[in-house]
Amino acid sequence: MATKFHSATDYGSGLYRALLDFSSSTLTKPQKRWRIACIAIHFSLSLAKSIINGRRNHKYSEISGSTSHTVLEIDTVSSLDLSSSTNLVPESCFPIVDQTKLRDMVKNKSMDELRQFDGVDGIAKLLKTDLENGIPGDEDDTKKRRTAFGSNTYQTLPPKGLMYFVVEAFKDTTIIILLACAALSLAFGIREHGIQEGWYEGGSICVAVFLVVVVSAASNFRQERQFDKLSKISSNINIDVVRDGRRQKISIFNVAVGDVVFLTIGDQIPADGLFIDGHSFQVDESSLTGESDHVEVDSKHNPFLMSGSKVANGYSRMLVISVGMNTAWGKMMSSITKDSNEQTPLQERLNKLTTSIGKVGLSVAFLVLVVMLIRYFTGNTEDENGNQEYNGTRTDLNDIFNSVLRIISTAVTIVVVAIPEGLPLAVTLTLAYSMKRMMADQAMVRNLSGCETMGSATVICTDKTGTLTMNQMKVTKFWLGHDNMEEDQYSQAIALDLQELFHQGIGFNTTGSIYKPKSESIIEYSGSPTEKAILSWAVQDLHMDIEKLKQNYTIIHVETFNSEKKRSGILIKKKVDNTNHVHWKGAAEMVLAMCTHYYQGTGEVKSITENERSQFENIIQGMSASSLRCIAFAYKQIEPEKVQCDEDDLTLLGIVGLKDPCRPGAKKAIESCRMAGVQIKMITGDNVFTAKAIATECGILSSDQEHGVGEVIEGSEFRNYTPEERFLKVNKIRVMARSSPMDKLMMVQCLKLKGHVVAVTGDGTNDAPALKEADVGLSMGIQGTEVAKESSDIVILDDDFASVATVLKWGRCVYNNIQKFIQFQLTVNVAALVINFIAAVSAGDVPLTTVQLLWVNLIMDTLGALALATERPTDELMHNPPVGRTEPLITKIMWRNLLAQAIYQIAVLLTFQFKGKSIFNVEEKVKDTLIFNTFVLCQVFNEFNSRNLEKKNVFKGIHKNGLFLGIIAVTLILQVVMVEFLKKFADTVSLNWVQWGICILLAAFTWPLGWIVKCIPVPKMPFLSYFKFSHTTT
């Protein structure tokens, strides 16, 4: 055991041999554990002495190459299998690195600490990362990295549980008052009638209140879980990494320490890391530091990249050194609680409406309370036996308390029924339901307000590429000089020197990449669809060898693609002769304007005359008119001392045309939006001829050759208008070509000034201002950058315009469902308030008890919201004009429907109240049960009427809504149970078949009544405009 080891290998093999010798001896289990502990301690001490001695002679440790950290990992005794020598090799070969130190190094941007690790290369060695090919990336390797360094997730506060919402519901003032009344009722009831019968009234109120609370809490809990699930989905970003030499997309949660990540404009930096290489790289760290200025990142002065930042410009590769909770972003995010209870504009309007209705209900309840107390204390009320209830001092004090308590309880219950708490709940339910369904329809809602606002949209400003087209680019045309090259002519017709120039311009001036698998013949391309199409064309048709190019040239400077200039450039040095070459690639007419010469297929260079320039412009227009995106390549050799890309006096190499076919469903979706009264405007960066061709193909423009004046313009023209001109002409514009993100922003602002509700699609970082400015921002899930997604309200997961039309339909469905529920709810409110008020004033008692009113409240608020707020959208919604910003929430049609039903119910139930005993020849209890039963059944039947506000056929499509039918069935079953079985609880008596038939017949009359009412025309002026409080609904 006293063997001296001179290297890490000696230590490892020595420990290995010692353990083998030890395992073969016959010792008890405790002895084995003690022995293995002694061995581990001995070797640790020996190793520490060796390191101390070694540092006297060597600058760096031989084991790890780090001055700060050295480790030999020894597994715990419990993890070793002493019966087999194969398990004695340590599982992880990663050194223990102080994650706090790495995090602080990035946070403080400390170059001194980075130098202690030998820079980026030193840390890469420490993390066993190949900076060119990345980590191995197999399951075993990534598992070890997660074990050693943690996963790229952060701890979040758990979502609110069911009990939280139950407690919140019990905090409601009216519920507290009702429970207080129930407690007093229990106390007086038990005191007067004993425990066996005295608990009925108070206990019934408690059970009814608890039932209302639990159902409401369960709905809110379900919504919380739904939002939490969607939040996790929206956080799951795809990241480009290289593993085992292959560029691939992985989830941000799967990023591991040591990964090499590709970053480009708009990307979110997924973890803390170090800049490896890149060009013109700037990041936005405002989410972490609050500073709005973009930060320059390079390998010399600032190679530090912080998790949560956004790429503002350029592109780069990054080495991941800290993930998850070991990053500053992870620490910050773990302390943030996401509030899923955000108030949407519609919810705010409904809260105002609820407050106004609540005030009316409170006033009525107060009047009922006063009238009933006056009637009681003046001796105008009778008990069940017909005796006067209050006889002055002769009345027992317990009886007085019980009577007053019953009156207060009734008044409070009227308030509960009158206040439509179900309105905000209905919005929450329909939004949660819609969000779940919209996910299946390829739309992810990020902001709740976007879902409902989309239903009011009057204009949609859409991109072209990927939204109206399939984003499947392919080079179909190639012009070299004035010659249209055929595919089979490339190798013979293009000079070798010219081919080499194309290889340079395509291979280096790109944000895409090429991967050649070792075993497979299929080459993989990554990047944007445009980049992949051009790279594929260069490799397959021009025989470009990217590996050979990288060996022969060095990149000096990069001009990243700019949405204003619509081109990108690169300066490279040829290693053989140290000559510098500038290459530009971009929009054909833009690049052509920079050129004074052009190449012919033979390699000969000719000057561009005015006549030839005109010919090139005609070539570009011809390809654009065929729906092709035109990209031109230009070249120039410059002096060795220059380090910038020249933009003048270039030589045109050639022009390619890329075909991107229209999406099959785009034309139909645009027609659907037009029928719905929504204008579609296409805003694209392509030239005017390509824009016209695609717009015509998609149906935005008519197929006629001539288009109206001002329908198709370029961004520069729109930009140069005066504000007054823009305001006058913006409605006519249908296509805007060669537009910049600022042009899009100006159009959105102008449309909003004209009173439009504007929805905008966008995918780029520069689209963020327009997405934020719009009433509804729609970002693209596939091609969209993280900056664009975070600026949007809804993410279109498949980048398809047909999904935008679906979102419009769902938005209208949300608004329509809320209106249905409002009509249903107000019908019950009006009927219940009027009936109770008239009965209380005239008879001194209300026909509906506290428990019965709470049951009606449950049907109305929760079950009614579930039934009506979960209706799916229909095609009929797309036949109506959009709802404007100032349209009243309660329309004149809704007032017509609800007043008719409320008046009918009031008439029937007041007849029962005053003449029911004589008409049916029944006792008081039976009469009250008939009133309760008929009232509830009227609401059940009226739910069918509320399914459609205008159409007479309210049963259309009802078989498709299983939830609605299920809720109706459950309500009816529970009503039967309440009347026939829970007589003590509900204060009812059993009804015979005839009485049930009368209740059902009278309730069913609401169907033909609803049909007749819908035949009545309504005035144009909104009903509430006749009243001073009309502002509460607008």
Task: State the burial class of residue 374 (Cβ atoms within 10 Å of its Cβ: 0-12, 13-18, 19+).
Answer: exposed
Tokens 């060095």 label which residue?
554
| Helix (H) or strand (E) segment spanning residue 933 | helix 924-945
Beta bridge partners of 264: 315
* Tokens standing for residue 877: 């919604």
Please enumerate in sequence order all residues whose Cβ is within 8 A of that of 548, keeping only pairs 6 or more positions apart, or say none.
Answer: none
Find the DSSP H helices in 240-342: 286-289, 328-334
CA distance 346 to 341: 13
Please name which of 999, 975, 964, 981 lies closest in space to residue 863, comparing C-alpha atoms.
964
CA distance 631 to 478: 10
Q: By the 8 A CB rule, do 699 and 671 touch?
A: yes
Cα 533–chain centre separation: 31
Please enumerate in sequence order all residues whose Cβ is within 8 A of that of 902, keeping only pairs 6 or more positions apart, or say none.
Answer: 826, 827, 830, 831, 834
Cα 112–chain centre separation: 42
| Helix (H) or strand (E) segment spanning residue 319 | strand 310-322
Please name which of 574, 573, 584, 500 lies closest in space to residue 538, comparing C-alpha atoms.
500
The question of whether 497 is a catalytic residue gets the answer: no
Tell me the C-alpha to C-alpha distance, in Å, between residue 1014 and each of 118, 946, 949, 950.
81, 12, 9, 7
- Beta-sheet pairing, 483-484 with 474-480: antiparallel
3-state secondary structure (DSSP) of residue 727: helix
* Tokens standing for residue 707: 């288009």
Q: By the 8 A CB rule, do 181 and 204 touch?
A: no
Largest CA distance in the chain: 123
Please name which of 931, 1006, 940, 1001 lies closest in space to residue 974, comparing C-alpha atoms.
940
* Tokens standing for residue 874: 């229909």
**Catalytic residue chosen out of the listed positions 267, 463, 793, 845:** 463
Dihedral sign for Cα atoms in the order 657, 660, 666, 667: positive
Cα 628–chain centre separation: 33
3-state secondary structure (DSSP) of residue 1017: coil
* Tokens standing for residue 345: 């504009």
Known catalytic residues are 463
